[in-house]
């Protein structure tokens, strides 16, 4: 059996087809490939934009909508059960990261060119365009991270915190430590977002048995 099976829907609105292939699908050579866990909640399925990569052991449930060229990596969890979760274009949710919200109170909204690092938790908050959430960082309910901002690895952005644009926040609780130069925005935030599109291509080029 192949080690990995990527599962993505090439067009929004085809999630019903994906939903009928929740666990397994035949590869092009007749092999069985494991698939991501994609489940409805109260009849609402996740919806995926064009050219998404979803790792075989990722979990995505409920009211989740992604943009184009997103990637959801190994063991990542996106739980759109208690409230909605929205991802823009070129968003990568890295290994073991968690996206969730609070029942009837907060939604999770993520803009374009956003990277959520390994083991990070993004909960009921808003991340604007060109944001990098570092490894193991936590962003809590009703926090707002404005564009071109980095949340450092291990930082904890407390509930209701407003992070200024073009800044670096670090520490527990997270505080602004410095401004970001245009070079750092391009060479760090945008570079990582683009790299994850490149990395996902390694898996898309395999014998995937794409259900779309």
Residue 22, judged by CB atoms within 10 A of its CB (0-12, 13-18, 19+), counts as middle
pLDDT computed for residue 36 by the predictor:
87
Say if residues 101 and 119 touch (Cβ distance below 8 Å): no
Residues 49-75 have pLDDT tens digits of: 999 999 989 999 999 999 999 999 999
Residues 151-188 have pLDDT tens digits of: 999 999 999 999 999 999 999 999 999 999 888 888 89
CATH 3.30.565.10 assigned to domain 57-201? The reply is no
Angle ∠(82,86,92) on CA atoms, nearest 5: 115
Local confidence band at 212 (pLDDT 50, 70, 90 cut-offs): very low
The three-state secondary structure class of 196 is helix
Beta-strand pair 121-123/59-65: unpaired
Local confidence band at 205 (pLDDT 50, 70, 90 cut-offs): low
Does the pLDDT at position 198 exceed 70?
A: yes
pLDDT computed for residue 26 by the predictor:
37
Q: What average pLDDT is seen over the chain?
A: 84
pLDDT computed for residue 34 by the predictor:
59
pLDDT computed for residue 210 by the predictor:
33
Over range 127-150, report the average pLDDT: 98
- What are the structure tokens assigned to 134, written together? 């570092």
pLDDT computed for residue 3 by the predictor:
27
Q: Of 90-94, 134-138, 208-212, which gets the smallest average pLDDT?
A: 208-212
- Domain chopping of the chain, boundaries: 57-201
């Amino acid at each position: 059996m192949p080690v990995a099976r990527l599962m993505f829907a090439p067009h929004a609105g085809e999630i019903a087809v994906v939903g009928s292939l929740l666990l397994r699908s035949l590869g092009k050579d007749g092999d069985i490939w494991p698939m991501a866990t994609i489940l409805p909640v109260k009849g609402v399925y996740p919806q995926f934009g064009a050219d998404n990569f979803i790792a075989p052991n990722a979990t995505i449930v409920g009211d989740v909508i992604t943009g184009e060229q997103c990637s959801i990596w190994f063991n990542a969890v996106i739980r759109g059960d208690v409230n909605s979760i929205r991802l823009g274009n070129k968003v990568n949710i890295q290994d073991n990261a968690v996206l969730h919200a609070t029942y009837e109170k907060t939604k999770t909204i993520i803009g374009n060119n956003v990277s959520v690092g390994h083991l990070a938790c993004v909960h009921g908050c808003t991340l604007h365009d060109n944001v990098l959430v570092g490894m193991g960082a936590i962003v809590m309910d009703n926090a707002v991270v404005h564009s071109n901002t980095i949340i450092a690895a291990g930082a904890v952005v407390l509930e209701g915190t407003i992070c200024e644009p073009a800044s670096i926040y670090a520490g527990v609780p997270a505080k602004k430590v410095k401004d970001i130069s245009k070079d750092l925005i391009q060479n760090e935030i945008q570079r990582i977002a683009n790299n994850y599109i490149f990395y996902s291509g390694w898996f898309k080029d395999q014998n995937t048995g794409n259900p779309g």
